[in-house]
Structure 1
Amino acid sequence: MTAPSISSPRLMARLRRMGEIGALEGGGVCRLALSDADREGRDQFVAWLEALGLTVQIDVIGNIWGLRPGLEEGPPVMIGSHIDTVATGGLYDGTLGVMAGLELVEALNTAQIQTRHPIAVAAFTNEEGARFAPDMMGSGVHQGALDLAEMRATRATDGSAVLGDELDRIGYAGPVPAASMTPRAYLELHVEQGPVLEAEGVAIGAVTGVQGISWTEFTITGQSNHAGTTPMSMRRDAGVVAAEIAIAARRIAEDAGPPQVATVGVLELTPGLVNVVPAEARLTVDLRHTEEAQLAASEARLMAAAEAAAEAEGCALTARRLARFGPVTFDPALVDRIAAAAKARHLTVRRMPSGAGHDAQMFAPNCPAAMVFVPSAGGLSHNIHEHTDEADLVAGAQVLLDVVLNLAGAVA
C-alpha cells in the first residue's frame, strides 16, 4: 500500500481558486455568509466534491458535506471548517480546513486507499457571524445547539436581510434535517490567528480547547441637543455612556489578566454630527475566557458598569446578547493523536487553547473533536494580509491526513 501524501500544488491551487471568489483589491477576500460570493464559493466546493466522487449532502441550514464511503457503514470521520469570511478576510481562515479536506481525499484516491470507516469533508454555514449573529451558526444547528427556526429568523447585523430568506435566495436550504448526523470524530485544520506558534518557532498546534465567548450589543438612548448651548451638567449624552462601557471592558480585561480579553468591535453614534450631542449610541463588547466562572464574572461586572454609566448620564440602556458559548475542552486522546502525528513527521508541536471560536467546539460535546493549528505570519487574521507559509500549510494538512487515516482505518 502506497503511503498517501499531501500534494502542495493541488492544495495551493484550490486555495488560490477560492481566493479569487470575492477577492478584494490589494489582497484578501470578502465572502460574507449567504452573499452572492458565498454562493459562488459553495458552487465551487460542490463541484470539487463531485469531481472527487463524493456523495454531496446539504442540510436545512445550508451546511455542505461530501461523503467518501468506507468498507463499513456508520458515522464518518469528519473534516470540516468554513468558507465564509469577514468583510476584510484573508485567504486561509476557515478555507484552509475545507481545502485540506478535499486534498486529503484526493491523496487517498490517488494512493488507492480504502478506509474501514467513511470520511466526510464539510463546509459549515456562517461560522464567522460577521453578517448574521451568532457565529458557528451552521455547526451549531447541525449539532443541535442552536434552534433552526430561530436562526432562520435572524436579521443581518445591518438590518438589511433575514438569514432564511438569503439561504433560500442562494439555493442552499437543503433537504437534510438539522442535527441528523454526529460523526465518529471531528477534526479541523486552521491557521492559528495569533502570534504564538510563529514567535516560538513551532510548526503545529495541538489545540486543547476553545475559549468561552460572550457577545453583547448595548444600545444607549439619550437626548440630541446643541453642542454649544447645552451645559455639561444638563446633557444626556449617549456617546459618553458608550465610552464609559468601552473603558470598563478594557479595565475588566486588565484586572482579570490573561487569558481574559475584551473588545469593542462596533461603536456607532447617532446622529453622528460634530456639533450635536449624540442621542443614541450602539456598541458591541466581545468577552472571552477559558474558564466559565471568570467569563461569567466579567459579564456581570460589565453589565453593572453599563447600568451605572447610563444612570449617571440619565440615559436609557438596553442590552442584547448576540452570542454566548461556554469554554470547550477537546478530546484528550484525539489531541494526543495530533501531537504524536506531528512528532512522527519530525515537526515541533505545542499544546495550546484557541482564543477564537471554531466549528469544532460545536462538535466537542457530542463526539471526539480536536483541531490542528499552523502558524499565522505576524499573528494576523481577519485581515487581507493574513499569510501562512506554504510549507506550514502542507505540514498541517499532512498531520491532518495522518490522524484521519488512523481514525478511519486504512485497509490494505
Structure 2
Amino acid sequence: MSIEATIPALAINGERLWQSLTELAAIGAYNDAATGLVGINRQSLTDEDGEGRRLVIGWMEEAGLTVTVDQMGNIFGRREGIEPEAAPVMAGSHIDTVATAGAFDGCLGVLGALEVIRSLNDAGLTTRRPIVITAWTEEEGVRFGTDMLGSAVAAGRLTLDYAYNLADEAGLRFGDELDRIGFRGDRPVLLEAPHAYVEAHIEQGPVLQQRGLAVGVVTGVQAISWQKVTLLGRAAHAGTTPTELRVDAGLAAAQIIVHARAMVNSGKYGQLRATVGHIRTAPGLPSVVPDLAEITVDLRNPDDSLMAQAEADLAEFLAELPTSQPGLRVETKRMAKTTAVPFDNNIQDTIAGVATNLGFETIRLMSGAGHDAQEMAAITPTAMIFIRGQYDGISHNPREYSTPEDCTAGITVLGNTILELAA
C-alpha cells in the first residue's frame, strides 16, 4: 500500500530549515585562506560546540520536545506518541565538525530531524510511536581520535571509561572537557533499542550529482581502520651527517605513504582506499634530520576480508621498515576500527518507496564515510538517506554545499519515512 493511502504526506518548511542551517553555521565560522570562503571550526567539546549545543537544545524545547543529555553528552529530544510505552523511532546525526568544515555534514541530519518535528507540529499530526531526535557527541573523531564516539558508547561497542580517558593533542581529557562545557548529563548512556533509526546526511561524494539525483538510499557503510604510526629515528645535522649514517624518521614516513598508495594501485585489495591525513615531524627544523615522525593511516574497504589482507600487508611493511634504516623504531596505536555494516533491507525499501511516492528517483549506494548510523545498526534496524552535494560532493571543506532544494527534498523523504515507521 502506498504512503498516500495510509498517512498524509508531510510537507517540510525548507525556508525554515535553511535558516536553521545558516544560524548554526555562524557558530565557529572563520575566514578560510585556502578557499577564500567562510568555513566552520566547531570541534567536539570546544566552547563553540557548547554554544551550538545550547542553540539546538533551545530549538528542541521550542518545538515542544522533552530534552535529556546522557553521560556522553549525547542530546535527545523526545516527542511523545499516542502509545508512550512503544519503542520510539529515532533520527539524528551530529553537529561537531572538523577544523575546515562546511555547514551541512552532520548538521543537516540533526536540523532536518528537528524540522520534521516542527512540520509535524504545524500539520497537527500525532504518531503512534514516540519520535526521538538526537545529536551525537564527537562523531568526527578529529579531536579525541575515535570517530562515532558518542553513538559507539551508547550502542555498547565502546565503554564510558574508554571515552572519558581519551585525550586531545593538548592532553585534555574527554571527560574533563565534557564537564568544562557543562554537558556531562545524568541520563544512562546505554540505549534501550529503539524501534528503528534513520539518518539523513549529505553524500560527501560525487555519485548523486553525476546521476542527476537529489536523494539516495544507503545500503551500508564500508569497513574503516585508523592507526597512528610513530617513527623514532635520530636527529642529526642536515649538512654534515652522511646519508648512510642517518636514521631519518621523515624518510620512513614518506615510505609508508608511498606504500599505502601502492597497495591501492595494486588492485589486490578490491576497492581499498588509503589516506595519510596527518603528518608531524620533530624537531621540525629545515637543517635537522627529524628524529620523530607521526602519521595517521586511514584504510577503508567495503569487503572485510580484503580489508584484513590490506591491514596485514601494512603491518608486514611496518615490521620490515627498520631493516632499511638500522636503529629506526616503529610504534603503532589503534585509533579506530569498524567492520563493514549492512543496513536493514526493510527500512531501505521504506525510504525508497517514500521517495518514489513523493516523486524522487533514487539509487542505492554504499557510504564511503563512517556515520553514527553504523553504530545504531548493532542494536536496531537502521538505514540512511543521502542528499546530493555540489562540486562533486566535496566535504570537510568550506566548499561543501547542498542546495536548499536538495536539502528540502532529502528531509521531506526523511519526514515521511519517520511518519511511516512511527505510524
1:21 and 2:27 are equivalent in the alignment: yes
Residue 372 of structure 1 aligns to a residue whose secondary structure is strand
More displaced stretch, 392-401 vs 249-258: 249-258
Residue 40 of structure 2 aligns to a residue whose secondary structure is coil
Tell me if structure 1 keeps the 8 A contact 2:81–2:126.
yes
Aligned equivalent of 2:15: 9
Aligned equivalent of 1:397: 411
Q: Write the deviation string for residues 17-55 of structure 1: whole angstroms up to 9, x where unpaired.
A: 101111122312111000000000000111011101111
- For residue 6 of structure 1, report the CA deviation from its aligned partner: 0.2
Structure 2: how far apart are the matches of 1:34 and 1:322? 19
Tell me if structure 1 keeps the 8 A contact 2:100–2:397.
yes
1:37 and 2:48 are equivalent in the alignment: yes
Return the TM-score normalized by structure 2. Answer: 0.95
Decide which of 303, 322, 327 is 1:310's aligned counterpart: 322
Structure 2: how far apart are the matches of 1:115 and 1:242? 56
Q: How does 1:86-125 map to 2 (within 5 A)?
A: 86-125=98-137
Aligned equivalent of 2:340: 327
1:242 and 2:229 are equivalent in the alignment: no
- For residue 126 of structure 1, report the CA deviation from its aligned partner: 0.1
- For residue 213 of structure 1, report the CA deviation from its aligned partner: 0.5
Q: How does 1:259-270 map to 2 (within 5 A)?
A: 259-270=271-282
Tell me if structure 2 keeps the 8 A contact 1:3–1:111.
no
Tell me if structure 1 keeps the 8 A contact 2:10–2:412.
no
Q: Write the deviation string for residues 284-317 of structure 1: whole angstroms up to 9, x where unpaired.
A: 0000001111111111111111221233212001
Aligned equivalent of 1:348: 361
Aligned equivalent of 2:3: none
Aligned equivalent of 2:374: 361
> Given the superposition, is the C-alpha separation of residues 239 and 191 from structure 1 closer, same or farther in structure 2, using an over 3 Å criterion?
same
- For residue 205 of structure 1, report the CA deviation from its aligned partner: 1.0
Q: Write the deviation string for residues 234-280 of structure 1: whole angstroms up to 9, x where unpaired.
A: 11111111111111111111223652100000111111111111111
What letter matches 1:23 in structure 2?
A: A
Aligned equivalent of 2:350: 337
Decide which of 80, 95, 112 is 1:83's aligned counterpart: 95
What letter matches 1:109 in structure 2?
A: N
Aligned equivalent of 1:218: 229
Structure 2: how far apart are the matches of 1:36 and 1:259? 39
Residue 24 of structure 1 aligns to a residue whose secondary structure is strand
- For residue 83 of structure 1, report the CA deviation from its aligned partner: 0.2
What letter matches 1:283 in structure 2?
A: I
Tell me if structure 1 keeps the 8 A contact 2:217–2:351.
yes
1:55 and 2:66 are equivalent in the alignment: yes
Aligned equivalent of 1:408: 422
Return the TM-score normalized by structure 1. Answer: 0.97
Aligned equivalent of 2:292: 280
Decide which of 402, 411, 414 is 1:388's aligned counterpart: 402
Tell me if structure 2 keeps the 8 A contact 1:210–1:356.
yes
Decide which of 126, 136, 141 is 2:148's aligned counterpart: 136
What letter matches 2:221 in structure 1?
A: V
The percent of aligned pairs where both chains have the same amino acid is 44
Structure 1: how far apart are the matches of 2:218 and 2:9? 26
Q: Write the deviation string for residues 159-197 of structure 1: whole angstroms up to 9, x where unpaired.
A: 331100000001100001121322110000000001111
Decide which of 187, 197, 218 is 1:186's aligned counterpart: 197
- For residue 8 of structure 1, report the CA deviation from its aligned partner: 0.9
- For residue 342 of structure 1, report the CA deviation from its aligned partner: 1.2
Aligned equivalent of 1:164: 175
Structure 1: how far apart are the matches of 2:57 and 2:205? 30
Decide which of 192, 201, 213 is 1:202's aligned counterpart: 213
Residue 385 of structure 2 aligns to a residue whose secondary structure is strand
Provide the alpha-carbon RMSD of the alignment.
1.1
Structure 2: how far apart are the matches of 1:180 and 1:277? 51
Aligned equivalent of 2:34: none
Q: Write the deviation string for residues 357-395 of structure 1: whole angstroms up to 9, x where unpaired.
A: 000000112111000001111221000110011111000
Tell me if structure 2 keeps the 8 A contact 1:205–1:372.
yes
Decide which of 139, 146, 151 is 2:158's aligned counterpart: 146
- For residue 3 of structure 1, report the CA deviation from its aligned partner: 4.1
Residue 363 of structure 2 aligns to a residue whose secondary structure is strand
Tell me if structure 2 keeps the 8 A contact 1:220–1:310.
no
- For residue 338 of structure 1, report the CA deviation from its aligned partner: 1.0
- For residue 91 of structure 1, report the CA deviation from its aligned partner: 0.2
Structure 2: how far apart are the matches of 1:150 and 1:300? 26
Residue 28 of structure 1 aligns to a residue whose secondary structure is strand
- For residue 346 of structure 1, report the CA deviation from its aligned partner: 1.5
Between the two proteins, the alignment pairs up a number of residues equal to 408
Residue 265 of structure 1 aligns to a residue whose secondary structure is coil
Tell me if structure 2 keeps the 8 A contact 1:41–1:83.
yes
Residue 349 of structure 1 aligns to a residue whose secondary structure is coil
